[in-house]
Structure 1
Amino acid sequence: MDRALRHVVITGACGGLGRAMASAALARGARVALVGLEREKLDSLAATAPDRCAVYTPDVSDSEAMQAMARDCMARFGVPDAVIANAGVAGGFDTAEASDLAVFRRMLEINLLGAAVTFQPFLKPMRERGQGVLAGIASIAGRRGMPGNGAYCASKGGLIRYLQSLRAELRGSGIAVCTVSPGYLRTQLTAGNRFAMPGLMEPEVAARLILQALAEGREQLVLPRRVGWLSNLLDLLPDAWHDAVLLKQPRKPRAGEAGATAIPGLGASPVGGATRAVSEPPSEPASR
């Protein structure tokens, strides 16, 4: 059954996969709520279809800010057809380093808690309407722990299980829950990787496939498929053999190391103040 994606909410829309999905949704004629932390980037994307975009800059782990975003978004465009929890961060992790515990905490706040905080304000309105799609952007890394990447693997593994639980809870409600597990995408999050990245995919290609999967009401999507097959094959190996293969690869850069990507809010409590504010209302109310 194809679902119309007339109104889509996307977190992490500033760049990479999030921006690609937002651009693809706009190309399909959808109204899109762009959620991210970099206002200038979101505004530049919104300028391509100003009558069909709303821009918001909350921290996805801040439930009050996300609830305010959802209220404004639904007042403008109505209940969304799809909510995509895409916001995510990545970075190396070393349990022996006390400073890395803050990295672990923040990664869980954004990658795992952020998905639940994103979905929560939309769930009751979707349930009342009896239709909608909730999608979480997990990762192949959530299927198996990787040396030096424990925080990211734990956050994505937790997300996979959370989406599995939510899917079971919503059976028969008309709301689909899709777990998207990409392999490696050519984005800022992978730019500093020093290890092999089989099946590296362009975010624009992934975005089109994800939106199509959501329109079809699919529950699982692995990108690209061959990376999922490779992961399944590696899982057949004894743990010691599997670990030996992974230990030969360079580790992902930790926070502060060359090639590491920034983690917003690292070392600070959930952002308040300016990030709690939603975007200014449009000059004219948007039609449903």
Structure 2
Amino acid sequence: MTRSMFHNAVVTGACGGLGQALARELIGAGACVALVGLQRPALDALAALAPGRCAIYQPDVSDAVAMQAMAADWMGRFGVPDLVIANAGVAGGFDTAQATDLSVMRRMLEINLLGAATTFQPFLAPMRERGQRGALVGVASVAGWRGMPGNGAYCASKAGLIAYLQSLRAELRSTALSVHTVSPGYLRTTLTAGNRFAMPGLLEPDDAARRLLAGVAAGNEHIVLPRRIGWLSRLLGLLPARLHDRILLGQPRKPRVGEPGATDIPGLK
């Protein structure tokens, strides 16, 4: 399915987890792939799978000028993409009472939310002008459906991304471009490795990548990975807010920056 559908793709956050799995899947299907990320060894390993069809870029996804330069170079060498996946993201616990966590929230919003817009922006006009089918994919999260204790920054960034993608989808209805919102539950990646709570429906990145690309190829505007985690989240959402909060408050919280199990947030000051 991916072989006939996507020929030129851009993937941010391609260094590991879902992004790496998506890049491998697309490369294996014969696509030319722009590998966007910060960890050069991981990107080199991917590019080695198809040296003539890949290029490596290491911009800060929240830097609009750097992203525009990346896009210009890619399109100058390989042409206008038919698939752009804004996958780059970071996660971490958050406590509003801690002044140091405010910089964590700012950086998380820059990468998870602004980073999607800076990823799409330089490709949007060329993709529209080409007049052919193309897909813009934003990787959000079921965490964006409802706020969770100790996870306010991440939940806010993903909720904002979902709303942004809704707006973009409406704006592009009359064009050949489609906008897809992906809401993963728990994937076995470095972002979840330090989680101290139950992760129902834990999915392997390779499986998630195949399901995501199949969903985009099928034209699904909303993709939940796996589906059952979406059903569980919606079921919990039917509970009275006080009861829902009580259940969530009983769970261990995601590690904050500096705590054991916390993931790195690049560019954090």
**TM-score above 0.5, yes or no:** yes
How far the C-alpha of 1:217 sits from its partner, in A, is 2.2
Indicate the residue corresponding to 2:173 in structure 1. 171
CA distance in structure 1 between the aligned counterparts of 2:215 and 2:76, rounded to whole angstroms? 27
Indicate the residue corresponding to 1:286 in structure 2. none
1:78-89 alignment runs, 5 A limit:
78-89=79-90
TM-score by length of 2: 0.98
1:225-244 alignment runs, 5 A limit:
225-244=227-246
Secondary structure, in 3 states, of the residue corresponding to 2:261?
coil
Residues 153-197 of structure 1 deviation map (CA, whole Å, 9 limit, x = unaligned): 000000000000000000020100000000000000000000000
Indicate the residue corresponding to 1:128 in structure 2. 129
Indicate the residue corresponding to 2:94 in structure 1. 93
Secondary structure, in 3 states, of the residue corresponding to 1:34?
strand
Residues 204-226 of structure 1 deviation map (CA, whole Å, 9 limit, x = unaligned): 00000111112222211001101
Residues 47-91 of structure 1 deviation map (CA, whole Å, 9 limit, x = unaligned): 111011010000000000000000011011110010000000000
1:205-284 alignment runs, 5 A limit:
205-267=207-269
How far the C-alpha of 1:129 sits from its partner, in A, is 1.3
Identify the structure with bigger relative contact order (alpha carbons < 8 Å, sequence gap 6+). 1
1:94-113 alignment runs, 5 A limit:
94-113=95-114
Indicate the residue corresponding to 2:198 in structure 1. 196
Q: What residue identity is the alignment partner of 2:129? A: E
Please identify, of 213-222 and 168-177, the stretch whose mean Cα deviation from structure 2 is larger.
Answer: 213-222
CA distance in structure 1 between the aligned counterparts of 2:40 and 2:10, rounded to whole angstroms? 16
Indicate the residue corresponding to 1:186 in structure 2. 188
Indicate the residue corresponding to 1:18 in structure 2. 19
The answer to whether the Cα contact below 8 Å between 1:133 and 1:217 also exists between their aligned partners in 2 is no
Secondary structure, in 3 states, of the residue corresponding to 1:54?
strand
CA distance in structure 2 between the aligned counterparts of 1:226 and 1:44, rounded to whole angstroms? 33
Indicate the residue corresponding to 1:280 in structure 2. none
TM-score by length of 1: 0.91
Q: What residue identity is the alignment partner of 1:233? A: L
Please identify, of 128-137 and 10-19, the stretch whose mean Cα deviation from structure 2 is larger.
Answer: 128-137
CA distance in structure 1 between the aligned counterparts of 2:159 and 2:174, rounded to whole angstroms? 25
CA distance in structure 1 between the aligned counterparts of 2:89 and 2:108, rounded to whole angstroms? 8
How far the C-alpha of 1:122 sits from its partner, in A, is 0.2
Indicate the residue corresponding to 2:7 in structure 1. 6
Q: What residue identity is the alignment partner of 2:225? A: L
How far the C-alpha of 1:93 sits from its partner, in A, is 0.2
CA distance in structure 2 between the aligned counterparts of 1:94 and 1:176, rounded to whole angstroms? 37
Paired residues in the alignment total: 267
Indicate the residue corresponding to 1:274 in structure 2. none
Gaps of 5+ in 2: none
Q: What residue identity is the alignment partner of 2:114? A: L
CA distance in structure 2 between the aligned counterparts of 1:211 and 1:73, rounded to whole angstroms? 21
Q: What residue identity is the alignment partner of 2:170? A: A
Indicate the residue corresponding to 2:156 in structure 1. 154
Indicate the residue corresponding to 2:40 in structure 1. 39
Runs of 4+ in 1 over 4 A off after TM superposition: none
CA distance in structure 2 between the aligned counterparts of 1:191 and 1:261, rounded to whole angstroms? 8
Indicate the residue corresponding to 1:53 in structure 2. 54
CA distance in structure 2 between the aligned counterparts of 1:177 and 1:82, rounded to whole angstroms? 10
CA distance in structure 2 between the aligned counterparts of 1:44 and 1:107, rounded to whole angstroms? 27
Question: Identity over the aligned pairs, expressed in percent?
Answer: 71
Q: What residue identity is the alignment partner of 2:46? A: L
Residues 89-109 of structure 1 deviation map (CA, whole Å, 9 limit, x = unaligned): 000000000000000000000
